[in-house]
């Protein structure tokens, strides 16, 4: 039987987009050493998570991302679509909590990658990372009228107390920390011949240096946020993670954050979002059957 071009086949395309989303989550978890985050060698500032749990959590979310992509396939942003996706996202949070025994491994990632998955499925082949993120932002700007936890979530309390945009604001603005910071840093590092692990670490450090991460604020207030931002800027000023001085500064940042029990969990989510958009760019944007996209 002749194969349909990928973007003509909603089900196949949605599965492929979901595979890339899961792969981005696993590659984020696999990236080592990350400051105060879960990676292959450490659980950072997290006593309730480890690398295996992050991978299990990522795997069970494949169905959520596939449903999101299928629902959004070739659609336009609308209030109805926003509410359909919110319902699937909330189901995904339940799936995650069941798989992890109640631990919040990926709430922020379901939000960010869910919206970007939808943006990718809506745009079709040839769309840039910026266009996909802008579409995702458009969806996020519709109100979530049926959200049960609007005024009780940690994110809400932190946004009220510190006046920061948080995960919701980041999405509504079209993911500026992904499109304007992480991806340019990742691509510039690659073009300078920096090995992939360091390029990804540099992208993460750049996000931490700029993001008002509500995970840091919730755990350690403005002091934790400042520690993270200053420490990340020190890594950049030292020449990045591929230099000896930058590598040492990265480890200093890890020690300082762990000592405060503070974690840049939102920055990790946005790195996964950047890796997703990057992989989409490499693999299926041009209506090619993805090379090497295997069920993880
Ligand atoms: C819109 C929602 C994201 C809910 O938003 P809200 O503001 O109410 O926030 P939270 O429930 O607090 O979750 C936000 C999570 O987003 C990550 N994050 C933080 N800052 C940013 C930022 N500036 N930009 C982007 N993303 C950000 C962060 O997630 C990570 O941290 C979590 C781990 O934290 P940790 O402290 O270890 O764990 P906890 O259990 O929370 O605390 P402890 O008890 O251990 O101290 C981890 O999840 C990381 O991913 C924030 O936590 C969204 O949830 C929502 O409304 N969903 C509904 C479904 C929907 O609409 N979906 C749309 C279609 S997909
Ligand atoms: N690697 C990681 N460690 C801790 N929290 C996270 N949230 C998303 N990725 C994470």
- Provide the mean pLDDT of the chain: 93
User: How far, in Å, are 41, 195, 196, 198, 245 from residue 191 at the CA level?
Assistant: 28, 10, 11, 12, 21
Cis peptide, bond prior to residue 248, ω within 30 of zero: no
Q: Is the CB of 211 under 6 A from ligand 1?
A: yes
Ligand in nearest proximity to the CA of 118: 1
- Mind listing the pLDDT tens digit for each residue in 11-20? 999 999 999 9
Residues 6 or more apart in contact with residue 218 via CB below 8 angstroms: 154, 155, 157, 158
Mutate to test the pocket of ligand 1, among 148, 167, 179 (most ligand atoms within 8 A of CB): 167
- Mind listing the pLDDT tens digit for each residue in 100-114? 999 999 999 999 999
**Nearest by Cα to 216 from 140, 177, 164:** 164
Measure the CA–CA gap between 283 and 92, rounded to whole angstroms.
Answer: 25
Instruction: Tell me the two tokens of residue 278.
Output: 């990057």
Q: What's the alpha-carbon Rg for the chain, to the nearest Å?
A: 18
- Read off the pLDDT band of 151 (50, 70, 90): low
Measure the CA–CA gap between 116 and 215, rounded to whole angstroms.
Answer: 21
**Nearest by Cα to 237 from 223, 214, 216, 253:** 253
Q: Dihedral of CA 10/22/209/104: which sign?
A: positive
pLDDT (mean) for 283-294: 51
Q: Is the CB of 44 under 6 A from ligand 1?
A: no
pLDDT of residue 260: 97
Q: Is the CB of 92 under 6 A from ligand 1?
A: no
pTM: predicted TM-score of the whole model, two decimal places: 0.94
Ligand 1 nearest atom to the CA of residue 168, by list position: 1
Residue 277 in this model has a pLDDT that exceeds 90: yes
Measure the CA–CA gap between 204 and 34, rounded to whole angstroms.
Answer: 8
pLDDT of residue 294: 37
Q: How many C-beta atoms surround the C-beta of residue 107 within 10 A?
A: 20
Instruction: Tell me the two tokens of residue 295.
Output: 């069920």
Instruction: Tell me the two tokens of residue 50.
Output: 């480890």
Enter the CATH code of domain 7-144+161-283.
1.10.4200
Ligand in nearest proximity to the CA of 100: 1
Buried b / exposed e across 80-102, counting CB within 10 Å, b at 16+? ebbbbbbebbbebbebbbebbee
Instruction: Tell me the two tokens of residue 140.
Output: 């996020």
- Read off the pLDDT band of 125 (50, 70, 90): confident
Domain locations along the chain: 7-144+161-283
Residue 135 in this model has a pLDDT that exceeds 90: yes
- Mind listing the pLDDT tens digit for each residue in 62-81? 999 999 999 999 999 999 99
Ligand 1 nearest atom to the CA of residue 111, by list position: 65
pLDDT (mean) for 241-247: 98
Cα three-residue angle 48-54-56, rounded to 5 degrees: 115
Measure 6 CA to ligand 2 centroid, in angstroms: 32
Residue owning tokens 């996909």: 132
pLDDT of residue 282: 76
Ligand 2 nearest atom to the CA of residue 29, by list position: 1
- Read off the pLDDT band of 293 (50, 70, 90): very low
Nearest CA to ligand 2 atom 9: 268
pLDDT of residue 296: 35
Measure the CA–CA gap between 19 and 63, rounded to whole angstroms.
Answer: 9
Query: Quick check: ipTM above 0.85?
Result: yes
Residue 156 in this model has a pLDDT that exceeds 90: no
pLDDT of residue 254: 98
pLDDT of residue 227: 98
pLDDT of residue 148: 76
109, 269 contact by CB (below 8 A):
yes
Residue 221 in this model has a pLDDT that exceeds 80: yes
284, 6 contact by CB (below 8 A):
yes
Q: Is the CB of 153 under 6 A from ligand 1?
A: yes
Residue 2 in this model has a pLDDT that exceeds 70: no
Residue 25 in this model has a pLDDT that exceeds 50: yes
């Amino acid at each position: 039987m002749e194969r349909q071009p990928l973007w003509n086949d909603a089900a196949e395309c949605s599965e492929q987009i979901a595979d890339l989303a899961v792969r981005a989550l696993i590659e984020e978890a696999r990236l080592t050493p990350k400051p105060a985050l879960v990676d292959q060698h450490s659980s950072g500032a997290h006593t309730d998570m480890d690398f295996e749990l992050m991978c299990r959590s990522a795997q069970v979310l494949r169905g959520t991302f596939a449903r999101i992509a299928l629902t959004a396939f070739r659609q336009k942003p609308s209030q109805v679509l926003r509410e359909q996706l919110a319902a699937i996202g909330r189901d995904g949070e339940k799936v995650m909590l069941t798989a992890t025994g109640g631990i919040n491994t990926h709430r922020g990632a379901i939000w960010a990658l869910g919206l970007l998955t939808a943006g990718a499925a809506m745009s079709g082949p040839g769309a840039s990372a910026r266009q996909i993120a802008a579409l995702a932002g458009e969806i996020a700007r519709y109100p979530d009228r049926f959200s049960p936890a609007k005024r009780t979530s940690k994110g809400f309390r932190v946004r009220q107390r510190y006046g920061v945009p948080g995960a919701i604001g980041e999405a509504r603005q079209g993911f500026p920390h992904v499109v304007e910071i992480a991806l340019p840093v990742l691509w510039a590092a690659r073009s300078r011949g920096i090995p992939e692990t360091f390029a990804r670490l540099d992208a993460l450090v750049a996000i931490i240096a700029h993001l008002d991460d509500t995970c840091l604020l919730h755990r350690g207030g403005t002091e934790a946020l400042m520690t993270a931002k200053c420490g990340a800027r020190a890594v950049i000023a030292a020449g990045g993670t591929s230099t000896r001085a930058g590598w040492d500064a990265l480890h200093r940042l890890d020690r300082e954050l762990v000592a405060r029990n503070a974690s840049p969990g939102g920055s990790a989510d946005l790195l996964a979002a950047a890796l997703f958009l990057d992989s989409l760019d490499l693999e299926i944007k041009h209506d090619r059957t993805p090379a090497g996209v295997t069920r993880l």
